Amino acid sequence: MKNWFVYGIKKGVVTTKYPSGKAEDVAAWSTKPVRVSGGQVDCPTSAICGGDVNMAKCICCGRCSDSFAPNDVVELAEVRMNNSSFKRSFHIYILDAGSCGACNLEVQALGNPLYDLNRLGIFFTNTPRHADALLVVGVVADAMRDVLVETYEAIPEPKLVFAVGSCASSGTLFGLSVTKVLKTDIIVPGCPPNPYTILDALIRAKGGVK
Amino acid sequence: MFQEGDKYYAVKGLDKTIIEETGVTQLEKYENFHALKLEFGSELKGTEVFCFTYGPTAGGLTESIGFDVYTYGERILRVIPKPLYKNRNIKISGLNVSDALLRFERYNAVFSSSYSIAFLRCAERIVGLDVEQDVQLLRIVMLELERISHHLYVLGRLSEAASQNVATANLFALRETVLRLISKHFGHRYFFGINGLAAISRDVDVGGLGNEIKSLSREFMVLWDMLSESRIFVDRLQTTCIAKQPWMVGPALRAAGHNHDTRESDHSLPYKDVYFEVQTHGDGDSLGRAIVRANELLESAQIIQQITDKLKLVKKRRIILDASCDGGAICRLESPSGDLLILIKLSGGKLSNIYLRSPSKANLLGFVNGISSNVFTDFHFAWESFGFWVSELGDIL
């Protein structure tokens, strides 16, 4: 078989039905841990307060696994502001302010055929001038602070800012969160967030499916 | 080379097993001395030569990094990378092993299991802990899954740069399948929270993984055969960024014809118990590096099958480090982009000294040398073929 077309046809449709269908094959430890038994937990980022877990601080290290178990729910994002004028066409500019690489790859994964974000009217763009939203991954490294602000200013109004991953949301173990530098509209927690969690946040930020 | 206190050591030999104490004056004679300190020369001057900056943030780059590109037109005369924009200055000194492990896992998440296992092997050597065979074999499974996932990503990026859109979509879909297999068996797509000192932190059942990987590798073989027959793909990679320096590591070194793989030369993990062949190529170009990765991916699939034929359920266990332990150890391990080296010292159970040489740091000068005299449109093929990760160029203090 040497024909890409035939190869593609034989392969069939592999794209998820999410959000109308269920999220498949979700990594358990990218979702919120909930308490299942008593006992003291030594959380390295102080994400656990009483019986609840602050997901913006959680680094999915699993140290709480004797008392907590993940709940497999992917809709974790906190959407503080949305804009339905982006409902049909939503262009995203990704900025790595100081990440370990995992959040970058989980955002990029949305372009693969299993998620195919283009079907939902969401696109990555290569320049902030064409973007409707800035999606920041990682903590804000010292040398990236000015770059971050300049990139934000280059995006035309109206615009939204996403903090993707626990580092961008709270700084975790590594430094300054983007929320301390820019007014952030959408917090997408997780270390790294599951692609479904990021997809859900993007859909809600643009006011739903077109 | 590495520094320990005020002493300097040179790591020599093709298999990089000779470690000699030396001085700064002697080290400066080595071609890659300044590159290992991330210094890549000065600006270039000449008739009609000008410089433009690419990065630190740009759509074509996965991570933030800057490049000063010197040219008089289409041809690249010199590239000076500026890799420290996203330097997080990760502080590990003074931490205990389990807290340091969280940072090593997240130093470069794409090689998370490589870094965490290399670090743990150092700590285990210092404490004198024996690691049980099933945990050691499971570590090999993790490393090989990481290699498969990473090689698929690199090949996907190369295919994307050559506008082979169907191949790109299928390669990235395969990579997603690998990540889902990892999450199904290990609970996390990047192995966070799995590894511990001579132990694993949750039950891992790898039953069925061998067959799942076998079917994935068959699908990859069909894809790779078709992609290798695409003249567009081959032409864009062939003779692009030729790098043959013997101080490089990993697929970049092996693509230059050097038959060295840390999995064979280092015995931190029982790779001698499985059969695999070291993959080499002679041309040292971007195509050679892609071919080595494709062949290594198939070898990794075979290693996983051999192990999972015998290994099924590995039960969780925890070992708490004795707070009073002291000593130093070094570990080298073959990450997906090549040999990484970690040296640590523990004092009273806390890290007092760390040196880390990542594969990206070892290979960056190879890219800088190789890209000169190529043209702008070769840039992405060259960069992606090395499998660089900017996060692992940052400092660990």
Domains and CATH numbers, chain A: 78-205 (3.40.50.12280)
CB-CB contact of B192 with B179 (8 Å): no
Give the per-residue pLDDT at A139: 96
Residues B11 and B146 in one domain: no
* Domain assignment present for B322: yes
Q: Are residues B99 and A25, on separate chains, in Cβ contact within 8 Å?
A: no
Nearest CA distance, B187 vs chain A (angstrom):
5
Mean pLDDT of chain A: 92
Residues B130 and B232 in one domain: yes
Q: Which chain B residues are within 8 Å of A108, Cβ to Cβ?
A: 62
Nearest CA distance, B127 vs chain A (angstrom):
22
CB-CB contact of B118 with B330 (8 Å): no
How confident is the model over A35-51, as a mean pLDDT? 86
Where do runs of H (alpha helix) occur along chain B? Answer: 24-27, 33-36, 97-105, 112-127, 133-161, 165-186, 209-228, 231-237, 250-254, 262-265, 286-308, 359-371, 379-385
Residues B24 and B125 in one domain: no
Residues B110 and B20 in one domain: no
* Domain assignment present for B365: no
The DSSP bridge pattern shows strands B313-314 and A48-49 to be unpaired
Residue pLDDT, tens place only, B98-135: 899 999 999 999 999 999 999 999 999 998 888 999 99
Residues B121 and B1 in one domain: no
Q: Which chain A residues are within 8 Å of B109, Cβ to Cβ?
A: 100-102, 105, 192
Give the per-residue pLDDT at B5: 63
What is the rounded distance in angstroms from the CA atom of residue B47 to the CA atom of residue B37? 30
Nearest CA distance, B234 vs chain A (angstrom):
16
What is the rounded distance in angstroms from the CA atom of residue A149 to the CA atom of residue A178? 10
Residue of A112, A137, A150 to mutate, interface with B, max B Cβ within 10 Å: A112
CB-CB contact of B288 with B385 (8 Å): no
CB-CB contact of B43 with B68 (8 Å): yes
Q: Nearest Cα to B63, choosing from A179, A142, A144, A97?
A: A97
Residue pLDDT, tens place only, B61-70: 899 999 999 9
Mean pLDDT of chain B: 90
How confident is the model over B202-230, as a mean pLDDT? 93
Q: Are residues A109 and B166, on separate chains, in Cβ contact within 8 Å?
A: no
Is the model's pLDDT at A6 over the cut of 60?
Answer: yes
Cis peptide before A33 (omega within 30 of 0): no
* Domain assignment present for B48: no
Please indicate if any CB of chain B lies within 8 Å of the CB of A41: no
Please indicate if any CB of chain B lies within 8 Å of the CB of A154: no
* Domain assignment present for B163: yes
* Domain assignment present for B296: yes
Please report which confidence band the pLDDT of residue B15 belongs to, taking 50, 70 and 90 as the band edges: low
Total number of domains constituting chain B:
2
Residues B15 and B146 in one domain: no
Q: Which comes out higher in pLDDT, residue A2 or B229?
A: B229
Name the helix (H) or strand (E) containing B44.
none
pTM of the model: 0.94
By three-state DSSP, how is residue B347 classified? Answer: strand
* Domain assignment present for B2: yes
Q: Are residues B59 and A126, on separate chains, in Cβ contact within 8 Å?
A: yes
* Domain assignment present for B60: no
A101 → closest Cβ in B90, B110, B192: B110
A25 → closest Cβ in B170, B180, B187: B180
What is the rounded distance in angstroms from the CA atom of residue B33 to the CA atom of residue B331? 21
The domain in which residue B25 lies consists of: 1-30
* Domain assignment present for B351: yes
Please report which confidence band the pLDDT of residue B2 belongs to, taking 50, 70 and 90 as the band edges: low
| Residues of A (48-87) whose Cβ lies below 8 Å from B | 59-63, 65
Is the model's pLDDT at A17 over the cut of 70?
Answer: yes
Q: Which comes out higher in pLDDT, residue A134 or B311?
A: A134
